[in-house]
Amino acid sequence: MKQNLKVIGEHTNHIFKQNTQITQLGKSGQIHEAVKLFSEMTRKNTVTYNSMISALNKNGKINDARHLFDNMPRRNLVSWNTMIAGYVHSDRIDEAYRLFVKMPKRDRFSWTLMISYFTRKGELEKARELFDLFPHKRDVAFWNVMIRGYGEKGRIVQARRLFDEMPLRVVVSWNLMLSCYTRNGEMRLGREFFEGMALRDVVSWNLMVDGFIEVGDLDSAWEYFEKTPHPNVVSWVTMLCGLARSGKILEARRLFDQMQNKNVVSWNAMISAYVKDYQIEEAARLFSDMPNRDSFSWTTMIDGYVHVGQLDKARELLNQMPYKDITAQTAMLSGYIKNKRMDEACQVFNEIAARDIVCWNTMIAGYSQMGRMDKALNLFKEMKDKDLVTWNTMIIGYAQFGEMEEAVKIFNGMKIKNVVSWNSLITGFLQNGLSTDALTSFKLMDHEGITPDHSTFACSLSACANLAALQVGKQMHNKVLKSGHLNDLFVGNALITMYAKCGRILCAQLIFDDLDEVDVISWNSLITGYALNGYGKQAVQLFEQMVSKGVQPDHVTFIGVLSGCSHIGLVDQGLKLFKHMMKIYSIEPLVEHYACIVDMLGRAGMLSEAFKVVRGLKIRANAGIWGALLAACKTRGNLKLGKIAAEQLSEFEPRKTSNFVLLANMQAEAGSWDEVENTRLSMKNTEAEKQPGCSWIEVRHQLHCFQSNMPMQPETAEVYSNLKTLTSQISNLDCVSNLIVSA
């Protein structure tokens, strides 16, 4: 008998050790070894099965765990709870719930699993349904779980109602209810509740301090901090972080120095405050005095050195870091990229053993920003797990450097597209002068059911402005009204520009007047709009109104107002504004400003003064300046000066035929036919090409683009066929003679 008991004891001890080993293998991720051990065991008990199910769950093999669960010879309560826990942690809640319903018996842990899951996920109705079914209503923990769930979702009224119904309350219950108020910014109600609390501890006081900090009331936070009976390290750190985040560095340091028990969080908070305030030397001194550093301490300092441009010190610190943290390495990577040190960035990237998606995206974005799209593409292809940011970065990169065909290829390769993807494509088309494609993309986006945001509308409206597509722009305006983006400043400015460029300056003015707030871009858009539409006086008046309201004009403002003066011959006022721009507003003239002055003087017939301005430039004249002078020479018939302007212009635009044509017309008007022939010969020798004519027409609110070199489409042939028929009928009526139509 004793011998049998001894054998049983040895077997039991052996099984216990094997069960423990299975558990340990599961925790360390060695699931194959755990399965092998389980298979080799000749004797298994219920604990063995439970350990194996738990190991499979922990390693994501939920289906295998369920198969084992279903084939267990005997199940106990732990078996059911373990399987349900596996489903819960894998977010397979429907299967967890079905198993929960089938349970022959439930304990407190079973109910906790399900109710806690539903509250965590914000499914409070389902949580409440289970809570109401829970048999042990005096269990305070379940009431607390529900109150926390309501608080996290901002449902304070329901939380308070449940709190008031509690049969028994402990200090944790009071603090949970208080946190519902403080974490949702309801500090008036929070203060009232705090004053009436039957039970308080240091957590209660800390919640009040943190709540006031979050709503920006540092005075009240300090008041409660000072009144805290026995502040703990959390109390001190909470107040310290609040002062530091609010930029009160001196007060934060004073508090830090008063702390008797500083933990790593308090050191990190103070160092972070100095870093954010660009006091990197103070941060470094504190860092060197720090008794114990964690990865956050190192990363904060490295990031700090990066932000002040001290990359070598940042790199030195990264090399000293005892355990390389990917956040610190990514910060170093970003620093090198921002400073265009791509070779060193690449070196850091190659040093990162386990790269995360942020690291990959940072490197791809770096190559994209530098225009090294070949390198970006190689990384993109190498990257296994791409997210939307990865794809969007590639689209933006190709678009920035004019490679729209490649951008479209990337876009078409995306399985899932978000609004940023569409915006990147639309913006790319817009930046590369492909406004028709931008509007086509907007239409496709709408067809795909993607909701446009303010950026989508602003870019699409800019495309309408470029094409002077008024009807399409009006349609877009209607969509803006329905979407609720009308008071978005970005969209409002785009609407002003669109209506102004489409010749509807009064509509632009109405949009401007209806905006809740305007910025310098709004003023610039309207001033430029008046100038473009020939309302120079109104442009000047608007400029004066802008200045009287205290809005500081910028270089774009003066381009608009000087252009307005140019169009209606306000020479004296234009020159006066030009001087004010430099003397009063300290704005250095750009070539665009000088082009306006040359155009203004040229239109007024003051060609010698215009030429004097060009010759006296401190910066090199561009095509805009010489083009303005050439146009003025054509208008005034000054062939001598026109030749000089045309020669200079040919250096900037050697293949632009309109410049040659303008000069040839001037020579023809002067009767210099030999020179006309020479100009035509020069045009031929330089292989100047006339850009194909392009027209946009709107038919039934649809924009159609036609180019003179487009291949004949079926619709084109039909148009020509109908035109020939009409011509024949008109000729038969003797209405038109000698009308020839050639396809």
pLDDT at residue 733, rounded to an integer: 52
pLDDT at residue 323, rounded to an integer: 85
| Residue 7 pLDDT class (50, 70, 90 cuts) | very low
Cβ-contact 202, 237 below 8 angstroms: no
| Residue 737 pLDDT class (50, 70, 90 cuts) | very low
pLDDT at residue 567, rounded to an integer: 87
pLDDT at residue 6, rounded to an integer: 47
Mean of the per-residue pLDDT values of the chain: 84
DSSP state of 689: B
| pLDDT higher than 50, residue 738 | no
Find residue 707's DSSP bridge partners.
Answer: 694
DSSP state of 701: T
| pLDDT higher than 70, residue 69 | yes
Q: Mean per-residue pLDDT for 289-303?
A: 92
| pLDDT higher than 60, residue 3 | no
Q: How does pLDDT run across 313-355, given as a tens digit for each residue?
A: 999 999 999 888 888 899 999 999 999 999 999 999 999 888 8
pLDDT at residue 133, rounded to an integer: 77
17-38: b (≥16 Cβ within 10 Å) or e: ebbeebbebbeeeebebbbebb
Cβ-contact 497, 529 below 8 angstroms: yes
What CA–CA distance (Å, rounded) separates 162 from 146?
8
| pLDDT higher than 90, residue 426 | yes
pLDDT at residue 583, rounded to an integer: 93
| Residue 102 pLDDT class (50, 70, 90 cuts) | confident
Q: Mean per-residue pLDDT for 208-221?
A: 94
Q: Mean per-residue pLDDT for 677-700?
A: 55
Which residues, at least 6 apart from 433, have a Cβ–Cβ distance to it below 8 Å? 466
pLDDT at residue 8, rounded to an integer: 45
pLDDT at residue 657, rounded to an integer: 63
- Write out 598-665 in H/E/C secondary structure: HHHHHHCCCHHHHHHHHHCCCCCCCHHHHHHHHHHHHHHCCHHHHHHHHHHHHHHCCCEHHHHHHHHH
Q: How does pLDDT run across 33-67, given as a tens digit for each residue?
A: 888 888 888 888 888 888 888 899 888 888 998 89
| Residue 732 pLDDT class (50, 70, 90 cuts) | low
Q: Mean per-residue pLDDT for 495-505?
A: 95
pLDDT at residue 641, rounded to an integer: 79
| Residue 25 pLDDT class (50, 70, 90 cuts) | confident
φ, ψ of residue 75 in degrees (nearest 5):
-120, 145
φ, ψ of residue 204 in degrees (nearest 5):
-60, -50
| pLDDT higher than 80, residue 681 | no
More confident residue, 215 or 652: 215
Give me the residue spans of the domains in the chain. Answer: 711-743
Q: What share of the chain is helix, strand, coil (3-state, %, to 5)?
A: 70, 0, 25
| Residue 86 pLDDT class (50, 70, 90 cuts) | confident
Q: Count of residues for the chain?
A: 743
| pLDDT higher than 90, residue 219 | yes
- Could you give the 3-state DSSP secondary structure of residue 385? coil
Find residue 697's DSSP bridge partners.
Answer: 704
Q: Mean per-residue pLDDT for 124-137?
A: 75
| Helix and strand numbers, DSSP H then E, in the chain | 43, 2
Which residues, at least 6 apart from 193, have a Cβ–Cβ distance to it below 8 Å? 177, 178, 181
Is 471 exposed, middle or buried, given 0-12, 13-18 or 19+ CB atoms closer than 10 A? middle
pLDDT at residue 741, rounded to an integer: 33
Long-range contacts of 42-47 (CB under 8 A, 24+ apart): 43/11, 43/14, 43/15, 44/15, 45/15, 45/19, 46/72, 46/74, 46/75, 46/76, 46/78, 46/79, 47/15, 47/16, 47/19, 47/78
Q: How does pLDDT run across 559-610, given as a tens digit for each residue?
A: 999 999 998 889 999 999 999 999 999 999 998 999 999 889 988 889 889 8
pLDDT at residue 346, rounded to an integer: 92
pLDDT at residue 668, rounded to an integer: 63
Q: Mean per-residue pLDDT for 408-436?
A: 94
For residue 315 the two structure tokens come to 């790199």
pLDDT at residue 242, rounded to an integer: 92
| Residue 268 pLDDT class (50, 70, 90 cuts) | very high
What CA–CA distance (Å, rounded) separates 52 from 22?
6
Cβ-contact 128, 146 below 8 angstroms: yes
| Residue 658 pLDDT class (50, 70, 90 cuts) | low
Report the range out of 8-12, 396-400, 698-702, 705-709 with the highest average pLDDT.
396-400
Which residues, at least 6 apart from 678, have a Cβ–Cβ distance to it below 8 Å? none
Short-list 95, 23, 17, 15, CA closest to 59: 23
Minimum mean pLDDT range among 178-182, 426-430, 627-631, 637-641: 637-641
What element of type H or E holds 687?
A: none
Q: Mean per-residue pLDDT for 494-504?
A: 95
pLDDT at residue 711, rounded to an integer: 52
Q: Give, rounded to a whole angstrom, the gap between the first and last alpha carbons of the chain.
A: 114
Short-list 190, 171, 172, CA closest to 180: 190
More confident residue, 150 or 235: 235
What CA–CA distance (Å, rounded) separates 675 from 667?
6
- Number of neighbours of residue 297 by Cβ within 10 angstroms: 19
